[in-house]
Structure 1
Amino acid sequence: MRKLSGIFLVGLCVGAIGAVAVTLSHSTPPQAVAVAETVTPPSVTTGVTTSVSTSATPPAKTGPEKKAEPTPEPGPGVDAATLDKLVRGGNVSAVVFDRQSGKTTVSVHPDRDYTSASLVKLLIALSVLERGGPVADVQRMLSRSDDDLASRFWTSYGGPSIVTQWARKLGLTGTRAPADPGRWGDTQITAPDVVKIYRYLLDHGPSAIMAALRAATERGSDGFRQYFGIPDAAGGRAWAVKQGWSCCKPTRMLHTSGVLGDDSRYIVVVLTEHPAGVDYPTASKRVTDIVAKLLG
């Protein structure tokens, strides 16, 4: 098992953030106000699909026996230039927060903004559960990244006001509601804001949300493989994730976000944007390589 040695190497804060994100709905029902997300099926490098339908929430993913994790130490190699090379022709932002020390240990291109794709489902889930909505459906929306459920909740629980209300409550300075009120996946986000959302979820949010993220399925409801990034690079460590993907207006977004390690010690957010000509398998590998580089 690899250790979390230089994982979240001290700072190297370098300035300004793209990918799993917009889960493109290929089959959004007529009445839904969903985000139309174009997704390449797992076995193909070009094509279209969408994110999640659902079934019962699968068992949580956990790593092997718990071991004490070392405090992150300074290490070479995690800086903007290093990560930029992994997304040739695209953009990347990465932020890692160590909950034990209360410090941000990696910050690369933190001010760049991206369309959220399915990461906005975290805010949708908070709104639904805050108002006593159906817990099981919220968990299916998250663990299988179900676009139909997200569209239904978006319409019923306030649409763009979901974003503006939570941005105000959590102090999200780079998060904005979509210009088209029906396209929830076009919500604008930044990596530091996504870290703030996870900090709130872990400290104050409904436990059902993190339980769903720990039970994320390998395939989304649209068939897209959503274990790129954090899950593929975790190396047996415990994890919980919300992923996002979308294409192609005009670029391809792929985001991995979540927590890693014992007691959800590390919050990891990697947002990426790729040229439309870069297919999903290639973009997925790039995101996994970025997380692996962060882990050292």
Structure 2
Amino acid sequence: MRKLSSIFLVGLCLGAIGAVVVTASHGRAATPEPIAVAEEMPSMSDSPPTAASASATPTPTPPPASAPAKADPGSGVDAAELDRLVPGGNVSAVVFDRQRGAATVSAHADRGYTSASLVKLLIALSVLDGGGPTTQVQRMLSRSDDDLASQFWTTYGGPSIVTRWAKKMGLTGTRPPADAGRWGDTRITAKDVVRIYQYVLGHAPGAILAALRGATERGSDGFRQYFGIPDAAGGRPWAVKQGWSCCMPTRMLHTSGVVGEDDRYIVVVLSEHPSSVDYATGSRRVTAVVKALLG
């Protein structure tokens, strides 16, 4: 019995020692061997993959919606809307798209007005056609110089300037003034002024357009001539000839010229106001009309 007990005790001791050895080996951290891993960095917008998404077919991203087409200047504007912007007066407007070869708006285009300084376009054509001084013609246009206009009017034919160019361009509503000495009383229509610009753009010396691009903010008489197209153009390039006259019995305020890249649009707004409407108010009304046209 004692011998058996000794052997049993020895076995227990050896078992305990083995258990300690096994436990110690599990407590030590094994040094890992390096493993080569090809890792793809996700973008900031990637979501962690899931079992469902890993096997699903990716949904294509729809293309961005294209920007809506820009409306043509004047589209959707009617004569009644423009009339409301000139209470108690008259207004005519034409916007002609040279790229399309058509008007995008035409309101009261055949209504007649006295031209004020717009007739200077015809005077300039006559002077340059006759070999006159280019620099002075440009000053007459860019600063709307009345003294130069009067000199040229007398020298280059007076009323015959109007009749000659009206015939050449096919102007149906343009007439010389009843008083031969009053060039500003020449009769015009918005439709005819568009035709004058078509001729200037296609056939006239570049000196005329250069002068219209360089129109000064103040005319030679001190009048602020940036009403209408210049004030409403909104950063678009422009070239203008303006007109104003007063006051028996009404006040005229006209803005005309080309607007946009490559002189795409010919814009003409002719307006007549009661003499009780001052120039500042009339100018703001004309500018509002052009803003309605250009958008």
In the superposition, the TM-score normalised over structure 2's length comes to 0.76
- Letter matched to residue 208 of structure 1: A
Q: Which amino acid aligns with 2:73?
A: F
Distance 1:269 1:5 in 2: 21
The 5-angstrom pairing of residues 64-143 of structure 1 reads 75-76=75-76, 78-143=77-142
Tell me the residue number matched to 2:260.
Answer: 261
What does residue 193 of structure 2 align with?
194
Which has the larger share of helix?
2
Tell me whether 1:171 sits opposite 2:170 in the alignment.
Answer: yes
Q: Which amino acid aligns with 2:71?
A: G
What is the distance in 2 between the residues matched to 1:146 and 1:249?
A: 21
Residue 233 of structure 1 corresponds to 232
**Aligned partners of 2:160 and 2:69: how far apart in 1?**
39
CA–CA distance in 1 between the matches of 2:232 and 2:166? 30
Cα displacement (A) at 1:4: 10
Higher relative contact order (CA 8 A, sep 6+): 1
The amino acid across from 2:249 in the alignment is: P
Give the match for residue 20 of structure 2.
none
Taking the aligned partners of 2:92 and 2:268, their CA distance within structure 1 comes to: 8
Alignment gaps of 5+ in structure 1: 10-74
- 1:6 Cα deviation from its structure 2 partner: 3.2
Structure 1 partner of 2:241: 242
Is the partner of 1:105 in helix, strand or coil?
strand
Give the structure 2 partner of residue 207 of structure 1: 206
Task: Mark the CA change 1:225 to 1:7 in structure 2 (over 3 Å): closer, same or farther.
Answer: farther
- Deviation track 1:155-189 (CA, whole Å, cap 9, x = no partner) reads 00000000000000000000000000000000000
Encode CA deviations 1:205-259: one digit per residue, 9 max, x unaligned.
1110000000000000000000000000001100000000001120000000000
Please tell me whether the aligned partners of residues 5 and 295 of structure 1 are also in contact (alpha carbons under 8 angstroms): no
| 1:6–1:295 contact (8 Å) kept in structure 2 | no
Look up the match of 1:290.
Answer: 289
Mapped partners of 2:225, 2:253: distance in 1: 10
Paired amino acid for 1:224: F
Under a length normalisation based on structure 1, what TM-score does the superposition of the two structures give? Answer: 0.76
CA change 1:253–1:211 in 2 (3 A) is same
Report the CA distance between 1:7 and its aligned residue: 4.4
Q: Which runs of structure 1 show a deviation greater than 3 angstroms over 4 or more consecutive aligned residues?
A: 3-7
Who wins on radius of gyration, i.e. which is larger?
Answer: 2
Please state whether the residue corresponding to 1:267 is helix, strand or coil. strand
Q: What 5-or-longer segments of structure 2 have no aligned partner?
A: 1-67
Q: What SS does the aligned partner of 2:280 have?
A: helix
Q: Specify whether residues 289 and 4 from structure 1 end up closer, same or farther in structure 2 by C-alpha distance, changes over 3 A only.
A: farther
Tell me which amino acid in the other structure corresponds to 1:251. Answer: T
SS of alignment partner, residue 222 of structure 1: coil
Tell me if structure 2 keeps the 8 A contact 1:7–1:294. no
* Amino acid of the structure 2 residue aligned with 1:250: P
Q: 1:96–1:268: 8 Å Cα contact kept in structure 2?
A: yes
Paired position in structure 1 for 2:273: 274
How many residues end up aligned between the 2 structures?
A: 228
Query: Letter of the aligned partner of 2:200 in structure 1?
Result: L
Q: Structure 1 vs Structure 2: percent identity of aligned residues?
A: 76
Paired residues of 1:114 and 1:188 also in contact (CA < 8 A) = yes
Q: Which position in structure 1 is the counterpart of 2:31?
A: none
The answer for the alignment partner of 1:21 in structure 2 is none
- 2:183 aligned residue: 184
Give the match's secondary structure for 1:273: strand
CA distance, structure 1, for counterparts of residue 113 and residue 136 of structure 2? 27
- How far apart, in 2, do the equivalents of 1:248 and 1:114 lie? 13
CA distance in 2, matches of 1:117, 1:188: 9
Q: CA deviation at 1:106?
A: 0.6
CA shift for structure 1 position 5: 3.7
Q: Match for residue 73 of structure 2? A: 8
Distance in 1 of aligned mates of 2:69 and 2:98: 14
Once the two structures are TM-superposed, the CA of residue 91 in structure 1 deviates from its matched residue by 0.1
Aligned pairs for 1:155-170 within 5 A: 155-170=154-169
Task: Give the distance between the partners of 1:187 and 1:196, measured in 2 at CA.
Answer: 16
Cα displacement (A) at 1:111: 1.4
Once the two structures are TM-superposed, the CA of residue 269 in structure 1 deviates from its matched residue by 0.1
* 1:178 aligned partner, one-letter code: P
Q: Distance in 1 between matches of 2:69 and 2:190?
A: 21
